[in-house]
Amino acid sequence: MSIRSRALPALATGLLLTATGCAASAPAAEPALAAAALSTETAPAPTPTAPSSTDTSGAATPTAAVASPAASGKPAAGTGKTVALVAYDPASGRATLHTGNTGSTGRTPAPGASRTTGAPQSPSATASASASASAAPDTVRTGQLIASPPTPAAPRGALFAVTGVQKTDGDRVEVTTRPAEVAELLGATATEQHKAIDVHGIHVQPLVKDLKVGFTTRPGGGNGSASAQLSLDASTSVPLPGGAKADLAAGIRLDPSVDFSYDGRGILKGGIEKARVGFGLGAHADWKVSATLAASPNPLRVPLAKLSASPVLTVAGFPVVVNLDLTCYLTVGADGKVTVEAEQDLDGAWSVHADYAKGKGWTTTADPGTTTVGPVRAKLSGDAALRTGLTAEASVGLYNTVGVAAGIEPYLRTRVAGSVSLDTTGKPPHVEGSWTNTAGLDINGRLYSQIKILGTPLLKADLPLPAFHREWPLPSLSTTH
């Protein structure tokens, strides 16, 4: 954990990560409905699509795994059959499944993708997992679990248990469902995974005109998808009160990742041993601000883009879907009147996660990581404290039902009385009056209480993230050059 300044820091960046609310989970179900496997692979993340409750074509829809419960008190295994989720309404619990020749759940583990332990599968189970699904009426039965990767019908994935089956014409079945728990699906499996998101699979919704979206090679990276960064570049003018305007430009390079771990080897002795859900975000940002600002209780926030991804982790042959959303803003504010022309850049890496351990319950943790400020070039005049930066609001969850919220905000507050001209690439500053700087990092957040999807006890209330606050002084001047 370190925070360091590379030069005279900056006119600020802030990264604020705030998660969305979580859907209520279902009543407790029979535990341990999935068999353990020796290893898992990480599957590519499908590009998210706009939410839709139905997709009647069934063509090219990713297949969902079917898990069948075993005798009471024992883990269950996959049925070896797959279906396609072509319509799903979580509110009513009704779904339509295509049960034709959708293929099997058998996959070859990716070398080094994760570490998973548990009971080995029998040869018969392995053979069954390699078989193609048929259109027989008993492809799906009451009590079975359906684990679906993102589809047009469920763009954030779906995990549910079948409570009723009605055969329809052709290869379709209509089913009624209830939400299921991850512990029901994974049973006595143990896995620990960290997945860098393939940024080519991130869906970007521009929130500003002429946003440029691209991909850059990560410093020191190769040519593979995992070595790429998502690149967002925007330039816009924003009206200010009184008829003025602010000219803003920003370039952002993002490296998102997700974390998931689960240990259900003690599930038959009173519940899962441990679990983790979290995310990491590496970022490089540079921006330009040109404006005359007046005092305002709230900083100006200019939305740049919404980003969403639902990477799929394969655990014991089943898809586990992690949802990550980000909304990026450019922010600038002052507590008095100040004219500013500034250029700034920053590099950082931060992570937030929620952990469960049997006997201890849930804890939330944030890693402040690193924050490195680059050279600043700026002209300031007025009498005010200026705060500028980049803000991102984010949510992370499993099948859109569990979330951790965090506010991670590195910042710089520049107080100027008079005029200042700075270029920390080597030229001496010119100050007429006074100029002071304070950099800092604030981390706050919470874990949402409705987290039963993991098969752990519900929290009575949202669990706060232990607050982190640190400030450090920067070079200041009070003289005339």
- Burial string for 427-465 (b: 16+ CB within 10 Å, else e) reads eebebebebbbbbbbbbbbbbbebbbbbbbeeeeebbeb
Q: How does pLDDT run across 182-232, given as a tens digit for each residue?
A: 888 888 888 999 999 999 999 999 999 999 999 988 665 544 445 689 999
Highest mean pLDDT among 10-19, 85-94, 127-136: 85-94
Tokens representing residue 37 in the block: 């496997």
**Residue 282 CA from chain centroid, whole number:** 12
Across 78-84, average pLDDT: 82
Q: What's the whole-model pTM score? A: 0.75
Residue 71 has pLDDT above 90, yes or no: no
Q: How does pLDDT run across 324-337, given as a tens digit for each residue?
A: 988 888 888 899 99
Tokens representing residue 469 in the block: 């606050």
Nearest to 230 by CA among 92, 458, 392: 392
Given pLDDT bands bounded at 50, 70 and 90, which one contains residue 102?
Answer: low
Contact 472, 3 (CB under 8 A): yes
Alpha-carbon distance 11 to 13, whole Å?
Answer: 7
Across 115-137, average pLDDT: 37
Amino acid at 302: V
Contact 114, 192 (CB under 8 A): yes
Highest mean pLDDT among 98-107, 108-117, 286-295, 456-465: 286-295
Per-residue pLDDT, 203: 95
User: In this prediction, what percent of the chain has a pLDDT beyond 70?
Assistant: 72
Given pLDDT bands bounded at 50, 70 and 90, which one contains residue 476?
Answer: low
Residue 101 has pLDDT above 70, yes or no: no
Q: How does pLDDT run across 389-424, given as a tens digit for each residue?
A: 777 788 888 998 767 877 777 777 888 899 988 776
Mean residue pLDDT of the chain comes to 74
CA distances from 53 to 20, 66, 97, 119 (A): 20, 21, 13, 37
Segments in 290-363 forming alpha helices (H): none
Residue that wins the pLDDT comparison between 289 and 227 = 289
Alpha-carbon distance 284 to 345, whole Å?
Answer: 7
Sign of the torsion formed by the C-alpha atoms of 475, 476, 479 and 481: positive
Residue 50 has pLDDT above 80, yes or no: no
Across 61-75, average pLDDT: 67
Across 434-454, average pLDDT: 77
Q: CA angle at residue 422 from 418 to 424, to 5 degrees? A: 150
Count of other CB atoms within 10 angstroms of residue 294: 16
**242 DSSP 8-state letter:** G
Tokens representing residue 33 in the block: 């409905």
Q: How does pLDDT run across 344-377, given as a tens digit for each residue?
A: 888 888 888 889 999 888 888 888 888 777 777 8
